[in-house]
Amino acid sequence: MKQRILFQLLCASAVVCVLSCRSVESISGYYRYDTECVTVNPDGTHIVKTRGTGLDLRQATENALVNAVNDVLFKGIRNGNSDCNQSPLISDPNARETYKGYFREFYGENGDYRQFITLTGDKLPRKKLKNKGKTAFEFLAAIDVERLRNHLQNDHIIR
């Protein structure tokens, strides 16, 4: 009888340990979403869905714009509408480190990246996702990829 009670106690403690030690899945506010293509305008401007997190709307908006330009530069856009799948503009995997000063200035306050991306429509977020103090917002933005490519060529970042 003692062995049976001891066995049940061990099983119960094992179940409690497994349930309390499992990893918690990240949701919404902490998840890094990739930029998605919505469409390509006739003028070549890409309309993308981008997301950013922050403590307020202003911070999340800036984060979303930087994420979208960063994805176009270093990752390419592969999600969403297949009509506008594109490779990254910068193919050199070390470019971020090689041109660290350039990109610090490019993404800095009032940086050049702002010339190539604008929020579309009513400029308000499409979705708001909350998670423990952080808020993720989803926006539609227009990126002028050709002007961005020419800018990087003129600055000798790409060929």
Cα separation of the two ends of the chain:
80
Question: Is residue 150 within a helix (H) or strand (E), and if so which, with residue range?
Answer: helix 145-154
DSSP for 35-66, written as a single string? PEEEEE-TTSPEEEEEEEEESSHHHHHHHHHH
Q: State the pTM of this model.
A: 0.75
Write the pLDDT tens digit of every residue in 18-64: 334 333 233 344 555 789 999 999 888 999 999 888 888 888 899 99
Task: Give domain limits for the chain.
Answer: 26-154
Q: What is the spatial distance between Cα 85 and Cα 75, in angstroms, rounded to a whole number?
A: 11
Write the pLDDT tens digit of every residue in 134-151: 778 889 999 999 999 999
Q: What is the spatial distance between Cα 34 and Cα 87, in angstroms, rounded to a whole number?
A: 14
* Range from 85-94, 116-125, 128-137 carrying the lowest mean pLDDT: 128-137
